[in-house]
Each structure stands twice: as structure tokens, then as C-alpha cells.
Amino acid sequence: MPDHDVLIIGAGFSGLYQLYRLRELGFDVHAVEAGPAVGGTWYWNRYPGARCDIESIGYSYSFDTELQEEWNWTERYAAQPELLSYLDHVADRHDLRKDISFDTRVESLRFDDTADEWTALLDTGARITARFVVAATGCLSKPLVPAIAGIDDFTGDTYWTWDWPHDPVDLTGKRVAVIGTGSSGVQTITAIAPEVESLTVFQRTPTYAVPAQNRLIAQELAELKTHYGEFRDESRLSVGGFPCGDELPPFFEDLDDEQIAGELDRRYDDGGLCFQQSFRDLLQSPEANARAAEYVRRRIGQKVTDPATAERLTPRSYPIAAKRMCVDTGYYEVYNQPNVSLIDVTEQPIERITGSGIRAGGADFPFDVIILATGFDAMTGALDAIDIQSRGKALRDKWADGPRTYLGLMSAGFPNLFTVTGPQSPSVLSNMVTSIECHVEWISDALEHLRARGLTKIEPDEAAEDNWVNTTNDAADLTLLGQAPSWYMGANVPGKPRAPLPFVGGVGTYQQILDGVAVSNYHGFELV
């Protein structure tokens, strides 16, 4: 018999809930986590200004009604310390740590097709066997180290947003460079600009950021708690895993000019990513998209006083929302401060990092501190980092031309291995916690189904997988997603195949597909 029924890899939002759920169902389950503590994303990414961009009331578990009633989020968008203390509290409340091995990385997984079990080799030298493995390894947990020459030559302090020190970092009076203007860069830049002596931002592609309109939410939360359950039901059937008011926003072409302007004003002023739902076809219709993009461009121009800097900060080369949008708390205004300057690396390419700073466009810029906010090998990176083999084949070889999954949950030829928010599921295009709960519950139900029938193996058919890969790709082709060189398409990692990584059909639709598959006796899966 294997050591455990189920091995879970990772102890972030996904791993913690999966552990709780399976333990409640009476499975013998164990988790391993590469880090020394629970929290995943919110343990590692503790850079200044780190906070969620989905409202805390939705970016939280719904499975524990008492927790939901008792926990009081302070802000509309919780900051990293609050999110980490929430996950710590969940781990305490359900006594989850006793079943987690920390500081332990899974290096390889081998499937034994006769015994129907996986063997995990750990970096501690130990091995664990389990009938099933749930990879709760995270979509944004494998950092991307950019190929910038001399990265180790710098004699000042280098910090990575995804591995920020645990002791406070005092940047007062320092000359600081930030490379990268995605969500991590935008948040870091906004937070540190007031305290540093000088801040130089190296930007490759300007971002579309909309205001968070962050605020304290004590009263709103008290009101929500009178009907939190309904809110959660709505979240699960929504497009993005978080309700944006009217679930079926208008089509662009059904609106006249005044209504279009009104809708954009309303969404922008309300703040947050619901701006993307100004029009139902914002990511499908080039006209709708162009109008929303132009709106954000105009607002950037209103916030930045120097016209040349405003122009550099204005995104023009890709459709809005085709790359992950940012939610900001005064980002653009930072460039009006005299101590902040912007370098566009398409005009002044970074040549190398030197002992004393950065050489770009033939000029040397001296710094005390360099902060890298250069992103992740998203969605497939953490899975590819594990040497996963079954029937003589490696998962990373199978995925060499792009991921192949059935429902983003499993891959044919790799039985009994589930991925939480895996590629080709809504995952990063949604409120991730809604998508995590959806997957954890589906996987748990499937394992119960197998156990009740004395079955020991579950695996997708090749045909079902081919259909799902085509569905995912076709759905993405109906959108403007492919027009941006973004991590959604694998475009940020040199050599990574370009393929749509998330499923774009929406959380509600996807949930219904999963429910349908389960009630039709796990259609598309072979149960042995």
C-alpha cells in the first residue's frame, strides 16, 4: 500500500483547502511545501505595496461559513500581511500544519502503472508514495529570471519582488532602480516612491492600470454578511469568479455614444478589474476594445503632467485586457514627483547590470538598490520544474508544444495526477480563490466517487483531451488575447511555445461543464 491516499504539493490557497477537504472526507493525506510556512503567493511576495487586486470579500474562502462570518477584512483590497495572516489563521483553525512537511520540495514524480501509485522524490532525499497526487503548485510561483548580462555583478542590494526579505528593508535615502512594470512593479513603485532618494523605472511595455479605489470596508462588510452566501453563489456563476454588478453587461454595439462614455466612467470610477466588463465583448470586439483602451489612455494623460513621460506610460501596442491589467493606488501620479524618472528600454535598451548600477542606451546609471519585478514562468513553470514521468514519458516533453489537458485538471497518460487551476482552466483569468474552490471540490468529489466503487485509477481519454485543447484554443482565438505578447500566451519566457494558457470561456460556464462531466459518470475519463 502507498504511504498515503493523496499527496498534495504546495500549501497556498489551493493546497490548504485541498488538505482540509480530503481530510474531512477521511482520506489519508499529506502535503509538502517548498517554503518554510503556509501561504504560497502571500508568503513569498511580500514586497512593499503588495496587495490583492480582486476584492478581499471575494478573494477569500467560502467553504467555512463560520470563518467567513468571523473574519473582518479591513480594506477593499487587502495588503499582503493581512492575506498571509488570514491563511495562517485558516491553517491554525483547522490544524493543517500537522499534515504538512515544510522546507521540502518535490523534485520528481514517477507513476507505477501496476500498483496505481506515484512515488515522489524530495529534495531532502526522502521519498513518499501516494495513490493520487494533487499539484497545488501555483500558476505564478516559478519566478522568471531575466537574461540581463551582469545580473550577479551588482555590488549594491538586489531584491526580487517574489522573494522579498522578511526583515524590513529601509530604502530611505537610497537611489533605487525598478525593472518591470507589471502588477508587482506597479505596486512596488507606488509604495516606495515617497521614501527613496531617487527612483528610476525601467519599463519595456507600458501597462493599462485602472484605479483600485481602495478604502476601509467595515460597514460594507457588515452588510454583505447578511447575505454572504448569495454573493458566493453569484461569484461561482460569474464570468470572472467575482460579481461585477450586472452579470450580462451590454454589447458595445447596442450602446450609443453617451451610454458608452457613461459605462466607462462608471466602471473606472468604481475601480478595479470590473472595468473589463464595461462591455460584454470588450475582449472580442476590436471596436469595443479600442474604445476602452482609448479611455484609459486619456485618463493616463490627465494624471501625468510631463507630456513626454505621459506618452511613454501610455500603452498603444496591444489591446486592453489582453495582458493582465493592473489595479493601482496612485501609480501614474508617482511620475509627477521630482525624484522619479522613467526609462523606456525600447529607446534605451538595458545593456547590462554593472558593479555600480545599470548601463542602458550607452549611459551608466548608478544605484544603491536594484529591484527586479520581472514576473513568472506562468501556469506551466512550477509543473515543468518537477520531473514528472509516467509510462516512460515526461510531462514536460508531452507539453513541449504547449500544455495538453482535459479540463485543465488532468493530462492523458498521467493518471491520478490532478492540477489545481492547471493550464486550460479559467485560473488566472478569474478570481483565483473561486477557481481554486471549484477545482478542489471537483477533485475531492471524484476521489470519493472512485473510493465508493473500489476504483484506483482515473485518467482522461486522449479524444476528450484533444477536444478540450481545441476548445480552449478556439475560444481564445475568438478573443484578442493572442494580440498581446503576454504571459497568458507564454510569450514572456524565451523559447516557451505560444499557446493560450487559461480557458477564456468564463468561470460560470466552466463550472457547469465540470458539473456536467461529473454527473455523466465522469465523461471523458477512464475509471479503472
Which chain residues interact with ligand N01 by CB under 6 A? 52-53, 140, 146, 148, 179-185, 187, 202, 204-205, 324, 327, 345, 350, 373-376, 428, 487, 492
DSSP 25-82: TT--EEEE-SSSSS-THHHH---TT-B-SS-TTTSS--S-HHHHHH----BSS-BHHH
Enumerate residues 333-392 that contact ligand FAD by CB under 6 A: 382, 386
Give the one residue of 7, 57, 106, 501 binding ligand FAD; rule: CB under 6 A: 106
Looking at beta carbons only, is 285 or 435 nearer to ligand N01? 435
Q: Could you tell me the three cell numbers for 103?
A: 522546507
Q: Nine-digit cell at 2?
A: 502507498
∠ Cα 418 444 225 (to 5°): 115
How far CA 360 is from CA of 193, 346, 357, 428, 465, in Å, comes to 21, 10, 10, 33, 46
Q: Which of 428, 408, 379, 371 is nearest to 141 (CA)?
A: 379
How far apart are CB 255 and ligand N01 at their closest, in Å?
A: 29
Single out the segment in contact with ligand FAD by CB under 6 A; choices: 131-139, 226-234, 404-412, 474-482: 131-139
- List the one residue from 13, 160, 164, 399 that touches ligand FAD (CB under 6 A): 13
Q: CB of residue 242 vs ligand FAD: minimum separation in angstroms? A: 8
Question: Would you count residue 110 as binding ligand FAD (CB under 6 A)?
Answer: no
Query: At its nearest, how many Å lie between ligand FAD and the CB of residue 42?
Result: 6
- What is the smallest separation between the CB atom of 33 and ligand FAD, expressed in angstroms? 5
Cell of 88: 495562517
Give backbone dihedrals phi and psi of 151, rounded to 5 degrees, phi first. -60, -25
Task: Between 204 and 299, name the residue whose CB sits nearer to ligand N01.
Answer: 204
**Closest to 294 (Cα-Cα) out of 331, 249, 260, 271:** 260
| Binding status of residue 12 toward ligand FAD by CB under 6 A | yes
When the beta carbons of 343 and 379 are compared against ligand FAD, the nearer one is 379
Contact call for residue 212 and ligand FAD (CB under 6 A): no
The CA–CA distances, whole Å, from 38 to 88, 352, 431 equal 7, 36, 20
130 touching ligand FAD, by CB under 6 A: no
Position of minimal CB gap to ligand N01 = 182
Minimum Å gap between C-beta 144 and ligand N01 is 7
Residue type, 131: R
The site partner of 374 among ligand N01, ligand FAD, none (C-beta below 5 to 8 Å per kind) is: ligand N01
CA torsion 64-103-405-501 (nearest 10°) is 90
By the rule CB under 6 A, 420 interacts with ligand FAD: yes
Query: Where is 509: in which H helix or E strand?
Result: helix 507-519
Cα angle 25-27-31, degrees, rounded to a multiple of 5: 115
CB-CB contact of 105 with 125 (8 Å): no
Least distance to ligand FAD, CB of residue 81, Å: 13
Least distance in Å: CB of 425 to ligand N01? 15
Footprint on this chain of ligand FAD (rule: CB under 6 A): 9-15, 32-35, 40-41, 45, 50, 52-54, 59, 105-106, 136-141, 184, 382, 386, 420-421, 431-432, 436
